[in-house]
Structure 1
């Protein structure tokens, strides 16, 4: 195959016919270009390089080099991602953990990051933020809907129970004032 990616008669070669990266440098360059688009986890980089035909030893070397250069840092990635996610769409630990794991963050690392974040914020505070955001969207806060909403957002049963108790207490106060 020619360097231009064209077949002998001038047609462009299909992507699957491209030569696979054979050197360590080529795998590293591919990974750097992939990371230049946005922040990624080591697992995401590994999956990407595998899909491009990079061999396992070259993937390991690329990931080690990227980690040494601090281009890859799963802990920092998870911390930034959780903070951003909570700011844009407040949700509970269970759902955040599942989303982090889907991105390739290990169970232990996800637990560590979530423990730190929720020690600062508290899951009940985040649940209140989620409910406030829901009410600002004009949605009615019926107790059944509220419980389903919190469950879908990954809040624990204990937090949902406390939020429901709090909601019922505030609803009782409103009815007493009438």
Structure 2
């Protein structure tokens, strides 16, 4: 328990991350599950709250689309259904088109102006939906 609490003291973690850490440090699967249940009961571990906080921080630093956010949450051990639910809710509130514009603007601040094909490729890499990309590129290339 002490080992897990010290591990959680540095950063927010998912249940899967704590479990993997405990198993790697020599805890038995039964011990790891007991510690996880105890930490969850104390509200030190909550994957739903973790996912919401993580997405909000990630979008503030580096705007990206739903697909990329979901993939990164899955890589951190968040269940697929939970990653889908939280990502859809947070991105819907944030407006994906606005996120895509911010993502391109962030890259263009460094003095680069992307051609439409480059912008499409970047937005796809960042996990934006095709409809969003088409609207952004169309609006971007219209004369003002």
Please confirm whether the aligned pair reaches a TM-score higher than 0.5, indicating the same fold.
yes
Shift of 1:38: 1.0
CA distance in 2, matches of 1:36, 1:81: 16
CA distance in 1, matches of 2:11, 2:91: 26
Q: Which runs of 5+ in 2 are unaligned?
A: none
CA distance in 2, matches of 1:114, 1:122: 12
How many residue pairs match? The answer is 144
Decide which moves more: 59-68 or 126-135.
Answer: 126-135
1:35 aligns with 2:8: yes
1:150 aligns with 2:137: no
Structure of larger gyration radius: 1
Shift of 1:118: 1.6
Shift of 1:121: 1.2
Q: Which has the higher helix share?
A: 2
> Which of the pair has the greater relative contact order for Cα pairs under 8 Å at 6+ separation?
2
TM-score using structure 2 length? 0.96
1:107 aligns with 2:75: no
CA distance in 2, matches of 1:153, 1:107: 19
Q: Which runs of 5+ in 1 are unaligned?
A: 1-27
Of residues 107, 117, 124, the one that matches 1:134 is 107
1:82 aligns with 2:52: no
1:160 aligns with 2:136: no
Shift of 1:152: 1.0
Q: Match of 1:12?
A: none
Q: Match of 1:123?
A: 96
